Amino acid sequence: MNEPLPRVAIPCIGERFPRMDVRTTMGPMALPDRFDGKWFILFSHPGDFTPVCTTEFASFALNHERFRRLNCELVGLSVDQVHSHIKWVEWIEEHLGVSIEYPIIADANGAVSRNLGAIHPPDAGTTVRAAYIVDPEAVLQSVMYYPRGVGRNIEELLRILQALHVVRRHKVATPANWPSNELIGEEVLLHPPDDIEGAKRRKGTQGCLDWWFCTARL
């Protein structure tokens, strides 16, 4: 009988990002303190010098300024050695003409990856493809895992980040496929009232199909 695979401790949305000292291509770094007051996305990859990961890291780099305009920094991660990361960054710039200007964590012993739930059986020797969006208060706001052979959609990560900004700033919710929802376009959703009187006031008002389904244009 096969032994059961070990369970992976996956960090939860709403938890604080764990404090850790890491070694990166840009020197030692303390997380999440390094990005105090900023959003950051930490994304792990299975390995340097692999085709999917190379396209992802180049795409993150090409869109780096778009993330920065949303007050967000980027950090890569894998269990490769720092020298491998450095050579890979050189290769990407030399062969693809793309400069990687964000740090990549060298997690040779896997401690950082295990702490983030980024090492899954049966491939216990490598990190999975994951992305963690962390807010300026160092609280996890999104955790995503991807199949090994499926590259990330950078536009979706940007969309989530933009939506998080809108949700926080305006105290609303965003619909499916925002800002291009099939039913309400770029409008947002108002949170339903919590009492009967609030429901009565909402019913029949502009933008409300019912007291619990109300939209607004920002």
- Catalytic annotation, residues: 53
For residue 104, the surrounding DSSP H or E stretch is: strand 104-106
Domain count of the fold of the chain:
2
In a domain, 4, yes or no: no
Q: In this structure, are 147 and 176 located in the same domain?
A: no
Q: In this structure, are 84 and 139 located in the same domain?
A: yes
Cβ contact 103:26 at 8 Å? yes
In a domain, 148, yes or no: yes
For residue 73, the surrounding DSSP H or E stretch is: strand 72-78
In a domain, 53, yes or no: yes
Q: In this structure, are 206 and 130 located in the same domain?
A: no
Give Cβ neighbours of residue 45 (< 8 Å, ≥ 6 apart).
53, 56, 57, 76, 77, 78, 127, 129
Residue 122 confidence (pLDDT): 73
How does the average pLDDT of the chain come out, rounded? 94
Please provide the distance, in angstroms rounded to a whole number, between the alpha carbons at the two ends of the chain.
59
State pLDDT tens for residues 34-84: 999 999 999 999 999 999 999 999 999 999 999 999 999 999 999 999 999
SS3 214: strand
Q: In this structure, are 181 and 112 located in the same domain?
A: no
At residue 211, does pLDDT exceed 80?
yes
Please report where in the chains the tokens 């604080």 appear, as a residue: 16
* CATH number of the domain within which 201 lies: 3.30.1020.10
Distance between CA 93 and CA 95 in Å, rounded?
6
Q: In this structure, are 76 and 115 located in the same domain?
A: yes
In a domain, 147, yes or no: yes
pLDDT-derived band at 94 (thresholds 50, 70, 90) equals very high
State pLDDT tens for residues 109-151: 999 999 999 998 876 778 999 999 999 999 999 999 999 889 9
In a domain, 164, yes or no: no
pTM value?
Answer: 0.93
Range of the domain at 191: 171-218
Within 73-205, where are the H helices? 82-96, 111-115, 154-170, 196-202
